[in-house]
Structures are given as structure tokens and as C-alpha cells.
A and B are shown apart, each in its own frame.
Chain A
């Protein structure tokens, strides 16, 4: 591979051999060196070899090795004659992040954080096999799949503002529950309103630095030390099963393609094929499930906070998906294209004036919520015009791992990690100790570095830095 530097935060892997487009990597020199240590750059190249890929294969500063696509990968294909690839979206369809503001300050919340975490843990099931309090009938589940947060609104779990200030208003209209298998539905029916495990978490945070006061204020973050709540989770077993079902179906339908692929998880279907259309409808339904999930969790978070602070008001900032494909219009090589924009471990970062973003954010551009790892900072960025031009309106999604779970468990004891966090005034409540070891802050890339690259490249600009007061996880 021939890598050349475009600027301090952008590198290009030149188009050669079977590549249809170059790879553009948003990274500084230090991150690029880290990227060379796993297979992610090769994965960026493999994506660049896919037929019909438009413009460039993009990799974000938090990229690391994934299935087919690296995590932190973005690619565009025409809806008319391109393709759709489930691996370019990920197993956890609409894994994403939601940010809520509160009317509370760090000084009010810190002394009560243990009670708040207890209350949250009581209301929101986390961890393996954790069943929801909501047991949905098959008809109700289909309704959630088809209408996402609309269903939540009708049932009283959501306010109108929650829907307005959510990507896609919390439901993609092309969803069709009929395209989701019984297997997937059996996994999802008892999981609505649950957090899951692994790197999913719920964090109580405070604004520690405001970089752009005007934009932060429009987003709802008006003062330093204002307390916020961040929710990071996805479509649970249902979404994972949808991805798996369609990967297998595409494999059976296109065995010749399968044979030639460098990685099997790159299997794709022509965009206009029946399979592709069905996958997209199923993906939309799984995405709706994830939004409904984050909404039900939001409802429970509000209840938990009110138990400790009766006057607590939790309002939405935004909710972003970072594993999804969207039908979007982009200017590529001076031509307008309607594309399937695949974002796998990457977040939409639309700038001012885009019709897809809420009225409230038309002048600023959309909020981009970047969760750090447990115990480190998280960030709110804002989308930009530059993102539209340079990265199909996308930026990073988080910190990216550098250490395996196995190595993390060997190196870090959950009790020690917890004690270190508590020394830094971060309380944690987890369903397991190993879950804490695996997610020790040291196993992730430096989030400050990731967002600095995004900011310098202009694809997602710094608005607020948030630091944790307390975390709950599975």
C-alpha cells in the first residue's frame, strides 16, 4: 500500500491494483502508526475494491479492525445501481448515543451519585440475559419495529421534543417488521429498555469545558458543570440477528461473490436486488428498535432522577446512530448522487442548512455525540460544511479499542479499575467485575486525540467536553 500525507490530519492510500477509489484516512501521525498494527488499513483497501464504490473509502481517527469494514469506516454506493453491504453497517444496527441535559449542577449531583446510580441500576436492566420489564406481544413488537419512537410517543414514553431532537425523529419510515425473522424477534421481544453489556453504558456527566459557547447554548448546554446524561447502546439481540440473517442469505444468493471476497463479512447485494431492498427495510426496523430502546431507557432515567431530585428535568440534546446506512444525497465528483451511505462506527455530522437535521439546529449544524470510554471524557461536536465535502458528512464515533478484552482482563482487575475511577471521583456500578476490567480506560485510544483530529480536519468541531461523575454498565 502507498500511503501519502495530504495534511497533518489526513492521509491517502493511493488507488492501485483492484482498488476503485483511494482510501482517505483521517488521522494524525501517531494514530496512523497505531492503525498499522492491526488489519484496519487493509480493510479500508478491501472496501475501496468493492464494485460501484463512489469517491473514496473513508477511515476515521478511531478506526480499528472490524468485520469486512473496519470499525470507523464510511462508504457510499448509488441507490440506483450500487450495492448494500450489512458488514458496512455492523452487527449492532443503530448502536448509537443519546445525550440529555439536566437542570442540575455537578455540586448538587456528586454527593448523591451513589443513590442515583442505584436508582438507575434498579430501573434499567444491564448485563447478560437481562430481561426487560416490558414484555411485548408479537403485535406490539411489530409496532415498535415499524414505528420506533412514534410508538414510544403514543405509549407515553416520549415527549414530542424527544422525537424532534433525534436522528430520523426516532423512526425510519421504510421499516418493515415483516422482513425481520422470527429468530431476531425472539431475541428482541424481551430486551426493550435494556442496556446490554460490553462497551454499552449509561453515564452521568458534567460539562467540564465549553469550546463554542454559542453552539453549546443552542444545544442546551448553557453552563460549565451542568449535569448531562449519556446513553450508549443499540438494537440488542434483534439487530445482531438481522445482520446475521442477511449476511447468510446474501452468502447463499451470491456464492461466486463470496468466493472472491478477501473477507466473507464484505458480502453484498446489488442495491436494486430483492435481497438488498428487504435488508434495508429490516435494517430500518432494527434501527427503530434501537431508538425505541434508548427512548424507553430515557423514560426510566427520568424516573430514576426524579426519585432523588423531584424537580429534575431531563431534556434531549440529540440522538445519533453510528452503525447504519442512510439514503442521502451527496455531491460526488461534481454530480448529485442518491447513495446508500454506510457508516460503521462513524457518526453523521451534517452541517448547517441540511433538511435532515432539526429546525433548532439549522443554523449551527447537528450535534455529534462522541462517547469516550468509561471513566474518560466524552465530547459534543457539531457537524459542518467541511464534513459534507470531505467525509460524506461523517466523523468519528468514539475512542476505539487498542487492547483485547482478554489482555485487559489479564492486566486490570475490576476492583482496581473501580478504585482508580473512584480516586478520580467517578463512581461506577456494573453488573460484573470482569465487565469493568475489559473496559478499563487504558484499553481505548485517547479520545482527546481522536476529537482533536476531527476538529482539525473540520469534519466535526468541538463544542463541549463532558466528564463522568458516575457510570452504570452491564
Chain B
């Protein structure tokens, strides 16, 4: 199954992340972020944990990807590997993730990501497939 697909967007970056379930789709959504600024293969050297809570799946996705963006901006970390576990139900979702990556200065990078957005966000869940559509402001 394809993991990530970048789409056309005039000013910013739009992509789809896929997975057999929500966890896997979230993982690929996180990994896609570093692909915006580098085409190099990023080693999984540094490990971090992310724990977040949100009321809706949409907010959970927003907050999760935002954490990845903030990590990139503040510590220069590019995330190339992720393990996500989502639990809970509407009004009470919890996400625990272990993410891995390496510092941007070890790779050829261009551009920067300003923010995660809600623009054109889609969370499509079917029997064995989840598709997330995300737009990042760059």
C-alpha cells in the first residue's frame, strides 16, 4: 500500500497519508513532514515520545502533526520513523507515539514549515484503509 502522496497546491504543501488503520496513517502523516524539506534518507538516530489528548480525531491529527513541526523548528529534528497508538472515543482521544529521526544539519534541506492547518483536512476511514489529507503552511 502506498504510504504518502504529495498533491498539487499553489502556495503550500498538500499530501495524503495512508494506512491500514488510523495508527498507521498517522505514522505516515508524521513521516511525510520531513519529506517536504529533504529528499535524503533520514536515519532514525534520536528517539522522542509524544503524548497528546484531544476531543476529536481532527484535533488529534492537528495537534500531532503540529508537534512534529514544532520539534523541527525548535530542535531541528527530522522524523523518519514513527509508532503511533490512538485510544479512546469521541470527546476523549489519547495518542501515544514514539518518533525517531535525526538532525536537519546532517542532510541537504530546503525550505521550512510554518504550520499545520485545518485546510482541506480529510480523515477517511473505510474497512481496511485510512486516508488522511493534510495541508501544511510553508
Q: Identify the A interface with B (CB < 8 A).
A: 38, 64-68, 71, 91-92, 127-129, 183, 186-187, 196-198, 237, 240-241, 243-244, 247-248, 251-252, 263-265, 401-407, 431-435, 438, 474
Q: How far is the CA of A21 from the CA of B118 in the complex (A)?
A: 25
B63 lies within 8 A of chain A by Cβ: yes
B11 lies within 8 A of chain A by Cβ: yes
Q: How far is the CA of A435 from the CA of B37 in the complex (A)?
A: 10
List the 5 closest pairs (A to B, CB-CB), nearest first.
Answer: A432-B110, A264-B118, A434-B110, A129-B76, A197-B112
Residues of A within 8 A of B93 (CB): none
Q: How far is the CA of A38 from the CA of B11 in the complex (A)?
A: 11
Contact of A64 among B10, B62, B110 (CB under 8 A): B10
Complex: chain A residue closest to B73, CB-CB: A237
In the complex, per-residue mask of B100-127: 1 if CB is within 8 Å of any chain A CB, else 0: 0000110011111011111101000000
B130 lies within 8 A of chain A by Cβ: no
Residues of B within 8 A of A127 (CB): 109-110, 112
B4 shortest CB reach to chain A, Å:
13
Number of interface residues of B (CB under 8 A): 37
Interface residues of B in 34-89 (CB under 8 A from A): 37, 55, 58-59, 62-63, 66, 70, 72-74, 76
Contact of B112 among A67, A128, A244, A252 (CB under 8 A): A128
B13 shortest CB reach to chain A, Å:
7
A189 shortest CB reach to chain B, Å:
9
Complex: chain A residue closest to B62, CB-CB: A248
Q: How far is the CA of A258 from the CA of B37 in the complex (A)?
A: 31
Q: How far is the CA of A91 from the CA of B136 in the complex (A)?
A: 11
Residues of B within 8 A of A407 (CB): 8
Q: Tell me if B112 and A432 are in contact (CB < 8 A).
A: no
Complex: chain B residue closest to A430, CB-CB: B110
Q: Tell me if A128 and B109 are in contact (CB < 8 A).
A: yes
Would you mind naming 19 contact pairs between A and B with Cβ atoms under 8 Å apart? Answer: A67-B117, A71-B11, A128-B72, A128-B111, A129-B104, A129-B105, A129-B109, A196-B112, A198-B111, A237-B74, A243-B115, A252-B59, A401-B10, A402-B10, A405-B12, A406-B6, A432-B111, A433-B110, A474-B112
Q: Tell me if B137 and A67 are in contact (CB < 8 A).
A: yes
B98 lies within 8 A of chain A by Cβ: no
B9 lies within 8 A of chain A by Cβ: yes
Q: Tell me if A128 and B11 are in contact (CB < 8 A).
A: no
Q: Tell me if B112 and A129 are in contact (CB < 8 A).
A: yes
Q: Tell me if B117 and A265 are in contact (CB < 8 A).
A: yes
Q: Tell me if B11 and A240 are in contact (CB < 8 A).
A: no
Q: A241-B70, A264-B121, A265-B119 are in contact. Are A92 and B11 (CB under 8 A)?
A: no
Q: Tell me if B118 and A247 are in contact (CB < 8 A).
A: yes
Q: A248-B59, A404-B10, A407-B8 are in contact. Are A438 and B74 (CB under 8 A)?
A: no
Q: Tell me if A65 and B10 are in contact (CB < 8 A).
A: yes
Q: How far is the CA of A183 from the CA of B69 in the complex (A)?
A: 11
Q: How far is the CA of A449 from the CA of B109 in the complex (A)?
A: 34
Complex: chain A residue closest to B37, CB-CB: A128
Q: How far is the CA of A186 from the CA of B114 in the complex (A)?
A: 14
A450 shortest CB reach to chain B, Å:
15
Residues of B within 8 A of A64 (CB): 10-11
A123 shortest CB reach to chain B, Å:
19
Q: Tell me if B10 and A198 are in contact (CB < 8 A).
A: no
Residues of A within 8 A of B70 (CB): 183, 186-187, 237, 241
A86 shortest CB reach to chain B, Å:
11
Q: How far is the CA of A128 from the CA of B59 in the complex (A)?
A: 26
Contact of B115 among A197, A244, A251 (CB under 8 A): A244
Q: Tell me if A92 and B110 are in contact (CB < 8 A).
A: no
Complex: chain A residue closest to B8, CB-CB: A404
Q: How far is the CA of A406 from the CA of B121 in the complex (A)?
A: 19
Contact of B11 among A65, A187, A251, A431 (CB under 8 A): A65
Contact of B109 among A66, A243, A244, A432 (CB under 8 A): A432
Contact of A241 among B12, B108, B115 (CB under 8 A): B115
Complex: chain A residue closest to B77, CB-CB: A129
Residues of B within 8 A of A183 (CB): 70
Q: A67-B137, A265-B119 are in contact. Are A187 and B74 (CB under 8 A)?
A: yes
Residues of B within 8 A of A65 (CB): 10-11
Residues of B within 8 A of A247 (CB): 118
